Structure 1
Amino acid sequence: MAEKFSLKDELFNPTKVNQIAFEIKKAYALFEQEKFEQEVVIKFDELELKERIAHIRDMFRKYLPNDYIVATDILLKALPSELDPDKMDDDFGEFIYAPYSDFVVTFGCREEYLDFSLQALREITKRFSVEYAIRDFINYFPEETFKMLKACSLSKNYHERRLASEGSRPKLPWAKKLDTEYSQPISLLDNLFTDKTRYVTRSVANHLNDIAKIDASLVIDTLKRWKESKQQDEKEMQFILSHSLRTLVKDGNSEALELLGYSANPSIEVENFSIDNLEVYVGKALEFSFDIKAKKEEALMVDYVLYFQTKAGKLNPKVHKIKKLNVKVGERVSIGKKHPFKANMSTRKLYGGEHKLVLQINGKLYEEFVFHLNV
C-alpha cells in the first residue's frame, strides 16, 4: 500500500533542515550544526506544519547569538541566491525558509529594530514570500510599513512587488486581520496593475476580489479607471478584470458583468426549462435542461443558483457555473446539466427538505423549480 502523502514532511524534513543548517554554518563558523539539526528534527513527529515553522524559529534563537541584529544578519548571509528573476509565475520559494521571516516578526517587530527588520523582510521575500510576517508590521507600524511597501511596489524585483499587494490584502487566507483601512493599499495597486508578471497581477486581482466583498463600488471604479488608462496589455487587463470580479459576478452584480462585456438585461428568451425529477436522493444527481433563444447578438454567462436547505430551516443560495457563450440573432442553444448530491461532502452538509433551482444568465434570475431532497 502506498504511503500517505504528508505535506508537512514534504516541506519540513531532515534533508531540508540539513540544507539550511549547512548554509548557516557557512555564514557563522561557531554554529553547532549537528546539535541544531538533531534538536530540530527530533520533535517533528509531534508537530504540525505551522508548529514546525515556529520550532525552527525557536531553534534559531537558541543556536544563534542573543543579539537580534547579529542573529538576523547571519540568517540573511545564509540565504541562498534570489529566486529566478526571469520567471513570470508560480515561484513561491521553498517553505523551509518560512522560519526566517517568522524569526524577524517574532523578535524584531519593535521600534528599535524597525528599519532593519523591514529591510530584512525585503531580502527574505526574494527567497520565500513574507506576506504573513509583514502583517504584524502593518498593524503596529502602519506608516513606516506602507512606506516600505510603496518602495516594494516600485522595485525591479517582482517578489518585492508582489509583496506590496499580497501582504496588504484585507482577506488574505490564514493570515492575521489587518487593522488598517481596506482602501489604503489602492495606491500600491495603482503601481502594480501594469505589471508584466502574472505572479504580481494575480495578486492584484486577488486583492481586489477581497475588497469586492467589502466595497464593490471601490473595486468597479478602480477597474474602470485602470481599463480606461490603457496602461496594461489588453489580454492581461481582461485577466485582471475577470479575476478581480469573480465574487461580484457570482453575486450577479450588474456593473461587474457589464464591465466584462455582459449585458445586465440580455435580449434572450429561456424556453423548455425542465428537471427530470422533483424528488432527488442523496447519492444521485439533479438533471435539468433548457433552451436559450437569442433576439440579438449577445455575450452570455450562464449559471444556476441552488438554494440549499440549512439546519435552521432556511434556504441558502450558492451560484454554480455552466458556461460562457456568444449567441447570434435568432440562434437557439440547448443546454443540459447534472448536479450531483454526493453523500459525506467535505464542503457542505446536506439537509433534507425543500430546495430550489434558479437559472441565472448575466446575473439576471430567470425560471425556477422547487424540488425535494431526500437524505
Structure 2
Amino acid sequence: MPFADELISRHTVQSLTHAIRAAAPDADLTALRAAARQIGPLPLRHRADLLRDALLTDLPGDYAALARTVRTARDNAPQFTGWLIWPVTSAVATRAVQEDETASFDDAMALLASLTGRLSSEFAIRTLLRHDLDRALNTIVRDWAGSGDADVRRLASEGTRPYLPWAVRVPQILARAGVTVPILDALYRDESEYVRRSVANHLNDLSRDHPEIVVDTARRWLSSPDTSTERLVRHGLRTLIKRGHLGALELLGFAPAILDVDGPRLDRNVVPLGGSVRLTASIRNTGDSAARLTIDYIVHHRKANGTRTGKTFRLTTRTLAPNERMEVSREHSFRPITTRRYYPGPHAISLQINGVESNRSEFELAPTDTP
C-alpha cells in the first residue's frame, strides 16, 4: 500500500497530462511535464498544489475555457479519475474565484459536484467556501443535500467540516457557530452509511469549539430517530465523551452514579520505555438503582517541559445493578510509535467513569530497560 504522499505520483502526472492533451490538443503542457520532475520530495497537499498551478499555467484564459477542457476530459478520457482529480478540482475552484463572477462560481460548484464521484471534491470546495460562504452553503443545502447521488450528499457534509484532514481551514465556518448545522440536519437520517459517517465526523469536528451546539443538535436528532441515529450520535459525540462532557454523557444515558472505585492499581512502579504496565480496578455500584457506566482510562504523559497531558483510552461500557461489583484490567504499552513521543519521568494513570476522574496512580517511565 503506498504512503499518503505517493497517492499523487509521477504516474498520476502522466495520466493527467494524457487526459488534458486529449481534451485540449493545442495546449502547451510544459508546466505539467515539469511538475513530473518536481513532485518527488513534496508532501501530498503540496503535490496537489503543484499540479493545480501547472494546470492554471498550461490552460490560460477565462474560467469558461478551463471548464470546457475539464468537461471534455471528464466525458472522454477513461483515465480521468482517481487522485489526479484533486488538482483538477482545485484549479477549477481557483480560476472561478480569480474571475469573481457569480456565473463562474455557480458553474464551478456544479462542476465539482459532477467530479466528486471520481475523487471527492472536498478539498477544492474549501476555496469556494472561503470566497463566498453564504452562496456556497445555499447551493449545498438546496441542491447537494437532496441529491440522488450519495457522493454529492457526502460532499455536502465532508467538504464543510470545520477540521477536515489535509484541507485548508475555512475561517468563516470556524467563526460562525453552527452555520453548517442545517446541512447535518438534512443528512443525519441519510440512507447511506457513507454519508452518515461523514455527518458523525462533522459533528465531532464541531464539538471541538461548540460542544453545547453539538449536544443540542444530537438531542434534537434523538427525539426523532431512525434505526441509525443513536449509533451516529455516539460516533459524533466521541470526543466529548472522552473529555467527560456531562451533557453528552447524560444524553447517551450515562448519568452520575454512586460508586466505590478501588484503583487503578498498577503492576509496577517503573516502566521501561518500550515496555508496558497493567492496570486493574474494582468498581462497585453503591447506589440504589442500576448504573449505566462508560469507563475509560487516562494516561497522563510527561511532556518535554515537565508538565503532563492526558490521553484518554477506551475501556468498556457496562450496567451495574445495585451493589454489583466488576473488575477491569488493561495492559498499556509504551512501545514507540510515530504519532507519540515519550519523555522519561513521572507519569500517571487514572480512570474516568461517566466523566468523573478517579485518583491517579503514579509510575516512572524509565529511559532504558530498568528492572
Structure 2 length normalisation: TM-score? Answer: 0.85
> Which residue is equivalent to 2:189?
194
Residue matched to 2:274 = 283
Over residues 191-237 of structure 1, what are the superposed CA-to-partner deviations in whole Å (9 max), with x where a residue is unaligned?
1111111121111111111111111111111111011023xx22x11
Partners of 1:271 and 1:329 lie apart in 2 by: 17
Deviation (angstroms), 1:29 = 4.7
Is 1:179 aligned to residue 171 of structure 2?
yes
Find the partner of 2:351 among 351, 359, 364: 359
1:129 aligns with 2:117: no
Is 16-25 or 364-373 further displaced after alignment? 16-25
Q: Deviations over 1:136-171 (max 9, x none)?
A: 222221221111111211222122212222222122
Report the equivalent of 1:54.
49
Cα gap change, 1:121 to 1:182, in 2 (>3 Å)? farther
Name the counterpart of 2:365.
Answer: 373
Aligned ranges for residues 295-374 of structure 1 at < 5 Å?
295=286, 296-342=289-335, 344-374=336-366
Matches for 1:27-46 after TM superposition, within 5 Å: 27-30=23-26, 38-46=33-41
* Counterpart position of 1:69: 64
Aligned-partner Cα distance in 2 for 1:63–1:52: 16
Instruction: Tell whether the 8 Å contact from 2:86 to 2:123 is kept in structure 1 after alignment.
Output: no
User: Does the 8 Å contact 1:212/1:245 carry over to 2?
Assistant: yes
Q: In the aligned structure 2, how far is the partner of 1:46 from the partner of 1:268?
A: 56
Alpha-carbon distance in 1 for matches of 2:201, 2:327: 34
Aligned partners of 1:63 and 1:186: how far apart in 2? Answer: 39
- CA contact 2:8–2:48 (8 Å) conserved in 1: no
Cross-structure match for 2:150:
158
What is the TM-score of this pair, normalised by structure 1?
Answer: 0.84
**Contact 1:76–1:124 (CA under 8 A) maintained in structure 2:** no
Which residue of the other structure, out of 9, 12, 18, is the alignment partner of 2:9? 12
Of 21-30 and 305-314, the range deviating more from structure 2: 21-30
| CA 353–24 in structure 1, closer or farther in 2 if over 3 Å, else same | closer
Mapping of 1:73-222 within 5 angstroms?
A: 73-79=68-74, 94-109=82-97, 110-112=99-101, 113-150=104-141, 151-180=143-172, 181-222=176-217
- Which stretch shifts more, 291-300 or 203-212? 291-300
Quick one: which amino acid aligns to residue 182 of structure 2?
S
Deviations 1:324-351 (A, max 9, x none): 2334455432222222223x44333323
User: Percent identity among equivalent residues?
Assistant: 29
Residue 102 of structure 1 aligns with an amino acid whose one-letter code is: S
CA deviation after TM superposition for structure 1 residue 308, in Å: 1.9
The alpha carbon displacement at 1:22 in A equals 4.4
Distance 1:256 1:371, change over 3 A: same
Change (3 A) 1:80 1:129: farther
Is the CA contact 1:249–1:257 (under 8 Å) kept in the aligned structure 2? Answer: yes
8 A contact 1:287–1:337 mirrored in 2: yes
Equivalent-residue separation in structure 1 for 2:44 and 2:360 (angstroms)? 46
Give 3-state SS (helix, strand or coil) of 1:45's partner.
coil
Structure 2 match to 1:228: 223
CA distance, structure 1, for counterparts of residue 284 and residue 319 of structure 2: 12
Separation of aligned partners in 2, 1:272 and 1:43: 56
| Stretches of structure 1 lacking an aligned partner (at least 5 in a row) | 82-92
RMSD, aligned α-carbons: 2.8
1:283 counterpart letter in structure 2: G
Taking a change above 3 Å as real, the CA distance of residues 255 and 12 of structure 1, as seen in their structure-2 partners, is: same
Determine the C-alpha separation between the residues in 2 that align with 1:370 and 1:103: 54
What is the distance in 2 between the residues matched to 1:107 and 1:327?
60
Q: Which residue of 2 aligns with 1:90?
A: none
Alignment of 1:244-255 (within 5 A): 244-255=236-247
1:241 pairs with 2:233: yes
Number of aligned residue pairs: give it: 356
Determine the C-alpha separation between the residues in 1 that align with 2:340 and 2:63: 47
Letter in 1 for 2:317: K
Question: Kindly tell me: are residues 312 and 156 of structure 1, through their superposed partners in 2, closer, same or farther at Cα, counting changes over 3 Å?
Answer: same
- Matched residues in 2 for 1:306 and 1:174: separation? 28
In structure 1, distance between residues paired with 2:325 and 2:75 = 59
